[in-house]
Structure 1
Amino acid sequence: MGELFYYWFYPLSVLLFYLLVLKVVDFLWWRPRKIELHFAKQGIRGPPYRFFIGNIKEIVGLMLKASSHPMPLSHNILPRVLSFYHHWKKIYGATFLVWFGPTPRLTVADPDLIREILGSKSQFYEKNESPALIRQLEGDGLLSLKGEKWAHHRKIINPTFHMENLKMLTPVIGESVVEMVEKWWVMSRDGEVEIDVSVWFQSLTEDVIARMVFGSSYEEGKAVFQLQEQQMVFAAEAYRKVFIPGYRFIPTKRNIRSWKLDKEIKKSLVQLIGRRKEKSGEGKGEGCPKDLLGLMINAGTNNNNNNRAERRSDYPSTMITVQDIVEECKTFFFAGKQTTSNLLTWTTVLLAMHPEWQEVAREEVLEVCGGSRDIPTKDDIAKLKKLGMILNESLRLYPPAIATIRRAKGDVELGGYKIPCGTELLIPILAVHHDPGLWGRDVSEFNPARFAEGVARAARHPMAFIPFGLGARTCIGQNLALLQAKLALALVLQRFSFRLAPTYRHAPTVLMLLYPQYGAPIVFHPLHHDPPPLPPSHPHP
C-alpha cells in the first residue's frame, strides 16, 4: 500500500511543484516581458524591467539622492519631489512604462487622457490598493473603498461636507484660529517671534477635524486622534523601509508599539461609538452642524431596522457596521488633517517668500473683514477672491497629493493606446501642475493672477488643475479645507506680517503627502500693539 501511494503521490507532487514554478516564472518574468513588448509596439517604452524588483531600486535611489539636501528657494520642485518621473520623462517622454515590482504602471500626464480615466470613462478603472502600512494608518474608509460600498458611504457622509453645514462651523473654526494667533501675539511680546507653522497648523486642523467627525464627543475623539498621531510617527519610520521585504512584520520595538497603538485606537473608537449610540436618541437641534459620527450611527441604526423588517438582499453591502465607522473616523483624521495643514503651511511659506502678494491679500482681508478686532463671517469668507486665487496657486505649486493611481479593470482603450487588464495608471498631479505647455513659461513662478478668471481658464486646458482629483472620487473634504484655510489666513493676515526665518530650509518632500522636510519656521511681526480679542464663546457642535 505504501509503495502504491509513493508511486502515485511522488510524480503528482513533482508535477505540482513544476507547475507552481512555471506560474511564478510566468508572473515574475514572462508576463512583464510580454507587457513590455505590447507597449513597445505602441511606441511606449521605459526603464527595463528587472526580475522581481522591477525599477524599485532605481526609484529609491533617485528619491534618496533628491531628498539628501535642501534645494534653492525655487518653486521648480518637480526634479526633487517626483525625481523618477522627471528623470525618465527626459529619456522616454511624458508617457512611459515603469515597474513597481512585477506590476506595470503607465504614467499619464495628458489632460485629455486624465479626463477619460477620472471622468468620462472612470467606470473602466478602479482605485488601486494602498500599501498595507498606509492602509493601516488611513483606515479602510472612503479613500480606499470601492464599488457599491464606497458609493453608499459617500452618500451617507456627504451632508457633513455640504457648504451650508460647513458655514455653521465657521464661528467655531474662527474661535480655534483666534486662540492660536492670541498665543502667537503673547509669544511676540519682544516685537517678533519665530514659529514653525507646520506644527501649529497641524494642531489647528486636528481641532477642526475632531469637531467635524465627532461633534458633541469632540474631546473624546481628539484624545483618540492623539493616539493616531503617535502611530503616524511609527508608520513613517516603517514607510521609509517599505522596500525591505516583510519589514512591517518584523517585531521591532517600533513595530510592536505601532501594533499596540492600532489596537488601542480601535478599542477606544468602539467604546466612543457605543457611548454615542446610547445618547443618539437625544438628537441635535436645528441649526447645529451635522457630524460624521452621528450620521454614520444613524445610518447604521436605520439599516438595521430596515433589514429586520424587509430582509433586503443587499444587506451585506449596504449595512454600516461599527468597524466601518471606526475606519471612516481614522480616514478623515488622516486625510483631513494632513491635507489642510499642508495647504496652510505651504501658502504661508509662499506669502512669506512673496511679500507683494502678502500685502495684496492683507489689503483685501482688511477691506472685506475689517481690522484685528473683527472676526470674519461666513459671508466675508466668500468675498475673499484674491485670497482664493492665492490658495489655488499654492495648490498648483504644492499639491498635497502629488500623484494618484488607477487600475484598468479590463482590457481598455485609452486615447488610442491599448491597455491590458491590471495595468496601473499613474497620474503625476505635480507634473501636470508644473507643465509649461499647459501653464506657460512662468510655470515655476508664484503668480496667483493666473486664477483671476477662475480655475477653468487658468491654464490652456480645463483639466490641468486637479489638486483634489476629478470626477466621482473628487476629495469630499475640499470645501472644508478651503474654508478653513481662508479663515485661518484671513485672521493671521489681520494681525501679523511675516517673512521666512533665517533657519528655513526649502525641502519639499513626500511621505504619503507633500510636506516640508525640515519644518516651516516663519518670523511673525504683530501689526498692532493691543492683543486681538478672543471671540465670544460659541457652543461646540
Structure 2
Amino acid sequence: MGGLHYCWMVVALMAVGVGMVRTWAAVWWRPRKMETHFARQGVRGPPYRLFIGNVREIVSLMMQATSRPMSPSHNILPRVLSFYHHWKKIYGRTFLIWFGPTPRLTVADPDLIREIFVSKSECYEKNESHPLVRQLEGDGLLSLKGEKWAHHRRIISPTFHMENLKVLIPAMGQSVVEMVEKWESEASQSGAGEKEVDVSECFQSLTEEIITRTAFGVSFEDGKSIFGLQTQQMLFAAEAFNKVFVPGYRFLPTKRNAETRRLDRDIKKSLVDLIHKRQEKSESGDNVSERNQDLLGRMIAASDRPATGRPCGSPGVAITVQDIVEECKTFFFAGKQTTSNLLTWTTVLLAMHPEWQEAARAEVIRHCGCRAVPTKDSVARLKTMSMILNESLRLYPPAVATIRRAKSDVSLGPYRIPAGMELLIPILAVHHDPRLWGSDATEFNPGRFADGVARAAKHPMSFIPFGLGPRTCIGQNLALLQAKLVLAILLQRFSFRPSPSYKHAPTVLMLLYPQHGAPILFTPLKPCRHSDQHSHLDRSL
C-alpha cells in the first residue's frame, strides 16, 4: 500500500514538474526566443515583462490619452491607438509588442498588407476574438474559418448583392422619414427652431430596425424582439469590456455576468424557436419565394439541401440550426454597429465642415429632389456623397485595427514569420499615414476620392475600412447604401452643426465610437419650390 502511495506521489510531482516547465517555457523561454528571432531581422519593440508583457504600458497610455476630450481635430491616432503612436516613433512602423506572453508584430506597410490579405491570404487566418466579443458577434462569418466559412459565405452573399438590396430602399426610406418628421415637429415646437439630437443613439435605433428587416423580412416583429435582447446584452458586455485586462473577470459570479449569460441563452432559444417556425412554413410550401429573400430564409433553404458535390451532414459543410443562430447574431452585431458608426461620424464631419455639407446637399437636391424619398437610381448617382463616406471611413474607420495569425512558417516581405505568430494591422494608422495620403492626411478632404478609391492614395492598399481579399466585409454594400439614403434625407430637410455640448472624444470599445455621444443641432429647411431648386443649384454649380 505504501508503494502505491509512493508511486502516486511521484506521478503527481512529475505532473507538477511538467506543468512548471511548460509554464516557464510559455512565459519566459518562448518570449525570449521570439525577441531574438525578430531582433536578428532588425525588428525590435518594447521589452517583454514576465507574465504581463506590455499590458501595463498599453493600459497606461490608453487611460492617459482618453482622460479628457481632444480639440476638434481629426488627428485622432495619438488618442485612439496611443500605444502604436508612441512606440512607432521609437521603433518604426514594424515592431514587436506583447499582450501578456503573446507576441504581435505590427504591420502597417501597404506592400506587406497586400501579402497578408491578398497574395498570400491562404497563409493567414483570422485571430480568435476575445470571449466577450465572440459572445456578441456570434460564431458566424466573422469568426468561421476554412471550408465552413467559404460555404456560409456562398450561401449568404446573394443577400448582399446590390440588386437585392435596392428593393429595401422604400422600407428603409420610410423608417428614416418617420424619424426626421418627428425631429421637424419637435424643432418647430421649440423656441429656438432647432432640434438637438445625439445621433450616435438615434442611428443605433434606426440601423437596428433596418438590419432586423434585412435579416428576418416577413418575421420582422419576431426578429425585432430577439435583437432587443441582444442590445441589452451588448450594453452589459460593453461595461464588462472595460475590465478586459482583469484575468477571469467574465467567470466571476457578478450580477452583470449572470445577466449576460441569461440573455445569451434567451437569444439562442428565441432564435431556435423562430427558425423552427419558419422551417415548418417552408415545409408547407407557404410563400417560399418571399421568405427566401431575407437572410434567415436563405440560411433555412440552405439547411434543407446539401452543398454541391457533398452529402448532407458532411463535417464542416452542412448548415445546422445552430449555424443559423450564430449567423443571425453576427449579422445583427456587425451590421448594426458598422453602419451606425459610419452614419454617426459622417454626420459629425458634415456638421464640422459646412462647405462639404452644402456641396452634398446640392447634389442630393439635383438628383433626388427637395423632399422626395430617394430612389435606387438617384442614390446610385450621388458621387459627392460617396467621396464623403469614403473620407469618413478613412478618418474614422469603425474597426481601427485587425489581427491575423500565420497558419505555418511564412515569409512576409523581408521577414520570416513563425507559425502561430499574430500580426496586428493598425488600420487607423495606415489611413492617417502622411507618406501614403500626403501632408493633409489628418484633414477632412473628400476630394481626394474624386478619381476613385484606387487613386486616392499613393498605394492602392492604403484604404482598408472593410478589409481586403477573400474576407472583405460581406455587408459593405448594405452599409454604404443605408448611409447614403439616411444622409440624403437628412440633407434634404435640415442644416446641422455641432451642439455647444459636443465633446470630440473618439474612443475604442470594440469599435470606434464617440465617448461622450454626438449631440448635433438640426435646423429644418424650408421646402424649396421647383424654381428655387434650380436657382440654388445654379449657384452651387
TM-score range, shorter chain: over 0.9
* Structure 2: distance between partners of 1:6 and 1:325: 52
* Structure 2: distance between partners of 1:154 and 1:347: 29
* Structure 2: distance between partners of 1:383 and 1:312: 45
> Does residue 291 of structure 1 match 2:289?
no
Output one character per residue of 1:164-187: Cα deviation in whole Å (capped at 9) or x when no partner.
Answer: 100111111111111111111111
C-alpha change, 1:361 and 1:284, in structure 2 (3 Å) is farther
TM-score in terms of structure 1 length: 0.95
> Does residue 231 of structure 1 match 2:233?
yes
Most deviating of 460-469 and 275-284: 275-284
Deviation at 1:314, TM superposition (A): 6.6
1:434 to 424, 427, 432: 432
* Structure 2: distance between partners of 1:277 and 1:186: 43
Report percent identity of matched pairs.
Answer: 69
Deviation at 1:454, TM superposition (A): 0.3
- Decide whether the 8 Å contact of 2:292 with 2:298 is kept in 1: no
* Structure 2: distance between partners of 1:311 and 1:130: 30
Deviation at 1:284, TM superposition (A): 4.4
> Does residue 203 of structure 1 match 2:205?
yes
* Structure 1: distance between partners of 2:11 and 2:222: 60
User: How many corresponding residue pairs?
Assistant: 523
What's 1:30 paired with? Answer: 29
What's 2:186 paired with? Answer: 187
C-alpha change, 1:10 and 1:285, in structure 2 (3 Å) is closer
Paired letter, 2:259: R
Q: How does 1:45-56 map to 2 (within 5 A)?
A: 45-56=44-55
Q: How does 1:92-241 map to 2 (within 5 A)?
A: 92-189=91-188, 190=190, 191-241=193-243
* Structure 2: distance between partners of 1:11 and 1:468: 55
C-alpha change, 1:431 and 1:311, in structure 2 (3 Å) is closer
- Decide whether the 8 Å contact of 1:159 with 1:290 is kept in 2: no
* Structure 1: distance between partners of 2:6 and 2:358: 88
What's 2:503 paired with? Answer: 505
- Decide whether the 8 Å contact of 1:165 with 1:289 is kept in 2: no
* Structure 2: distance between partners of 1:512 and 1:61: 18
* Structure 2: distance between partners of 1:81 and 1:447: 21
C-alpha change, 1:14 and 1:285, in structure 2 (3 Å) is closer
What's 1:380 paired with? Answer: 378
Q: Secondary structure of the residue that 1:183 maps to in structure 2?
A: helix
* Structure 1: distance between partners of 2:256 and 2:409: 42
* Structure 1: distance between partners of 2:355 and 2:10: 80
For structure 1, the 5+ residue unaligned runs are: 531-541
Deviation at 1:311, TM superposition (A): 8.3
What's 1:266 paired with? Answer: 268
TM-score in terms of structure 2 length: 0.95
* Structure 1: distance between partners of 2:257 and 2:144: 26
Output one character per residue of 1:436-474: Cα deviation in whole Å (capped at 9) or x when no partner.
Answer: 000000011100000000000000000000000000000
Q: Secondary structure of the residue that 2:504 maps to in structure 1?
A: coil
* Structure 2: distance between partners of 1:211 and 1:297: 16
What's 2:286 paired with? Answer: 282
* Structure 2: distance between partners of 1:285 and 1:58: 56
What's 1:71 paired with? Answer: 70
What's 2:320 paired with? Answer: 321
* Structure 1: distance between partners of 2:502 and 2:177: 25
* Structure 2: distance between partners of 1:144 and 1:155: 16
Q: Secondary structure of the residue that 1:360 maps to in structure 2?
A: helix
Deviation at 1:9, TM superposition (A): 3.4
For structure 2, the 5+ residue unaligned runs are: 529-541
* Structure 1: distance between partners of 2:216 and 2:208: 12
What's 1:446 paired with? Answer: 444
Q: Secondary structure of the residue that 1:186 maps to in structure 2?
A: helix
* Structure 2: distance between partners of 1:301 and 1:194: 50
What's 1:538 paired with? Answer: none
What's 2:361 paired with? Answer: 362
Q: Secondary structure of the residue that 1:410 maps to in structure 2?
A: coil
What's 1:302 paired with? Answer: 305
Q: Secondary structure of the residue that 2:97 maps to in structure 1?
A: strand
What's 2:521 paired with? Answer: 523
Deviation at 1:65, TM superposition (A): 1.1
* Structure 2: distance between partners of 1:283 and 1:403: 43
- Decide whether the 8 Å contact of 1:369 with 1:380 is kept in 2: yes
Q: Secondary structure of the residue that 1:316 maps to in structure 2?
A: coil
* Structure 1: distance between partners of 2:497 and 2:153: 41
- Decide whether the 8 Å contact of 2:272 with 2:321 is kept in 1: yes
Q: Secondary structure of the residue that 1:282 maps to in structure 2?
A: coil
> Does residue 336 of structure 1 match 2:340?
no
> How well do the aligned residues superpose, as a CA RMSD in angstroms?
1.5
Q: How does 1:2-17 map to 2 (within 5 A)?
A: 2-17=1-16
2:395 to 397, 411, 424: 397
Deviation at 1:289, TM superposition (A): 7.8
Paired letter, 1:431: A
Paired letter, 1:38: H
Deviation at 1:92, TM superposition (A): 0.7
* Structure 2: distance between partners of 1:311 and 1:40: 48
* Structure 2: distance between partners of 1:83 and 1:512: 15
Deviation at 1:219, TM superposition (A): 1.0
> Does residue 425 of structure 1 match 2:423?
yes
Paired letter, 1:225: F
Q: Secondary structure of the residue that 2:144 maps to in structure 1?
A: coil
Deviation at 1:6, TM superposition (A): 3.5
- Decide whether the 8 Å contact of 2:199 with 2:520 is kept in 1: yes
- Decide whether the 8 Å contact of 1:169 with 1:289 is kept in 2: no
* Structure 2: distance between partners of 1:470 and 1:142: 15
Output one character per residue of 1:147-177: Cα deviation in whole Å (capped at 9) or x when no partner.
Answer: 0110010011011001110011111111111
Q: Secondary structure of the residue that 1:318 maps to in structure 2?
A: coil
- Decide whether the 8 Å contact of 1:401 with 1:467 is kept in 2: yes
What's 1:409 paired with? Answer: 407
What's 1:254 paired with? Answer: 256
